[in-house]
Structure 1
């Protein structure tokens, strides 16, 4: 850590301010990385937004000073190789942040990730953190320090811990942002399917999958690209579930560049003789039922508030909600007031629109949307 106590406090305050004012998730990662490096020196990094349900990478992704040839295997390793400080374990841990040297009692070579991924690139220690808010993990970071610099200190770990809730809150807020533009004309309106071999290499895909990959990762999606990280992460999780290393689910919900929500899920197939087959991945525009939970979670609603919100979305009255949840109508009204305050609305109609309709409106008004108008 560099600087006096007052300087460090000023830089922490400045960094927290950056988080609250960031206009894009990409900009958030860039600004936080540049400023954090002054407080906690590091030489390489991987910044990932995550699906709070699965803790799998979504988008955006920011990779710093990592060899391109090693990027594609990153999430395959994360899902399939038993190791210390896996993100799924870190997300459930009490602290949510730790270093490789601490986790291995200063013997990093005990870690397969160190031997096969970190050390070959000239790095020594690694610091991992999960950005948690409201009981959910909205992103993760992997920081690497050059071997010559020595390991991360306890003070530096504490600095990162201090910033974790602020970064998590910023990532959570981006989840609730309304799409600014519809998907491009000709964008897929139905599901697409792609097959991957056991090494995670794409074998074949249909036209809808190709369109959705392009919407997700850009026209150069077929080239090695960090933009395809969410797809590769889901494929790797499917293999881990198939091998009994993980319980899944092998799925992720994320937003494309257009702002449209995309759903990805995968499973490993087997041949008639029982031998391993390819992994089938389905990618499609997310349905309301798929994105509703993540949007509701982003507003930090309690379990009871979520139940009442879902009931409101179904059109139930306060009396009907009270009967269904074994509450008094007065209690339901109190919960609804709390929900309105958190979401920033003043009526049941505004609540449903805020949580659901706003995320589909742009697509429905797209001239290319699959909508049929009929007059009698």
Structure 2
């Protein structure tokens, strides 16, 4: 089995030949295929806060059942759910260890000819930036993933996690090429079929589909994830997600559950360029600011002077100055005005 150094070198090679995270993930999957026998795959880039997908590289046979898998992920208790792998610290799971207990296996995978599934959370610095899922078909030899397959994926997980963090938090300077001053609105039913949309929403949906190389009728993975979560938890009446698209801009998706006069569920999606408020927490994580540095930044944005920040946070004037020096270095600015512009003001919508 190839060791950690081999996979670090391979990751660097894949990175050099990639213009975006999709190409990187595709190349890494191809490299894994030379070492592990699998028949299908899905590799998702995730938002570290919500664990929602912000885009997936998916083999076509999985694409056909991806929505079913996503719905079950939020709707039923099952083996090796992605959130469980992250929260429990287990990080990797093989479905053949417990297929008889898996609703997902019985209802979706087995009827579609799959005999096993291997899931791995791509963790870096205790945050999850993606999920790698490999599948075997019943006719494969052997039809189940072996212990050495899991050991290899455990080596690769943090290496891919580190790279996906860099892709997800790449700072994008561009603004979305859409109509200013208009809200993008889409109404979809519980089967995720578009019932209606305005022009701006249509344009942004097209950008999301192009980002994942989807056809016009396919639903982008971020929308699948956010809607599946919403439909599974009717008490959670709305939720949101930011999708960064390199060389294009940041798309903010907000979803709210609605009921028709006949008590049928529908979902209203607001799809727009991310606002300054929506971007703030995203950028704080992108610049690796600590919780205390985050508190200082929030005070700076309000225009509060250093002495008052010290009083509000219960720290000394000199400690605030020390925090500011570190924040300026991380964000690559030289003063407060530049800091506020870089992480807040420039994302204000007209």
What TM-score do the two structures reach when normalised by structure 2? 0.86
Counterpart in the other structure of 1:48? 44
Match of residue 301 from structure 2: 313
Aligned counterparts, 1:33-72, within 5 A: 33-59=29-55, 61-72=56-67
Of 268, 272, 275, 2:257 maps to 268
Deviates more, 1:256-265 or 1:233-242: 256-265
Aligned partner of 2:241 in structure 1 is 252
Helix, strand or coil at the partner of 1:171: helix
Report what 1:367 is aligned to. none
Q: 2:106 aligns with which of 102, 111, 115?
A: 115
SS at match of 2:32: helix
Q: 1:233 aligns to what SS in structure 2?
A: helix
Distance 2:285 2:175 in 1: 24
Distance 1:248 1:55 in 2: 18
Asked if the contact 1:215–1:258 (Cα under 8 Å) also holds between the matched residues in 2, the reply is no
Distance 1:98 1:56 in 2: 19
Aligned to 2:134, which of 129, 143, 157?
143
For residue 18 of structure 1, report the CA deviation from its aligned partner: 4.0
* 1:289 maps to which of 277, 287, 298: 277
Evaluate the alpha carbon distance shift between residue 222 and residue 9 of structure 1 in structure 2; reply closer, same or farther with a 3 A threshold. closer
Q: What aligned pairs does 1:328-343 form with structure 2 within 5 A after superposition?
A: 328-343=316-331
Partner secondary structure for residue 255 of structure 1: strand
The 8 Å contact of residues 321 and 332 in structure 1, kept in 2 or not, is answered as yes
Change beyond 3 A, Cα 1:161–1:188: farther
Among 294, 302, 312, the residue aligned to 1:324: 312
Structure 2 spans left out of the alignment, 5+ residues = none
TM-fit CA distance, 1:10? 4.8
1:93 and 2:81 aligned: no
Structure 1 residue 76, shift from structure 2 partner: 2.2
Q: 1:188-227 residue pairs with structure 2 within 5 A?
A: 189-218=181-210, 223-225=216-218
2:295 alignment partner, SS class = helix
CA distance, structure 2, for counterparts of residue 166 and residue 49 of structure 1: 14
Aligned counterpart in structure 1 of residue 162 of structure 2, from 149, 169, 175: 169
Q: 1:315 to 1:202 in 2, by over 3 A?
A: same
User: Partner residue of 1:233?
Assistant: 225
* 3-state secondary structure, aligned to 1:315: coil
Output the CA distance in 2 between the equivalents of 1:251 and 1:35: 34
Q: CA deviation at 1:57?
A: 0.9
Q: 1 CA distance for matches of 2:62 and 2:160?
A: 26
Distance 1:283 1:101 in 2: 39
TM-score where L is the length of structure 1: 0.81
8 Å CA contact retained: 1:265, 1:282: yes
> Using the alignment, how far apart are the partners of 2:257 and 2:83 within structure 1?
21
Secondary structure of 2:136's counterpart equals strand
CA contact (8 A) 1:18 1:32 kept: no
Task: Give the match for residue 24 of structure 1.
Answer: 20
- Between the two proteins, the alignment pairs up a number of residues equal to 346
Say what the alpha-carbon RMSD is for the aligned residues.
Answer: 2.9
Q: Which of 128, 136, 153 is matched with 1:160 structurally?
A: 153
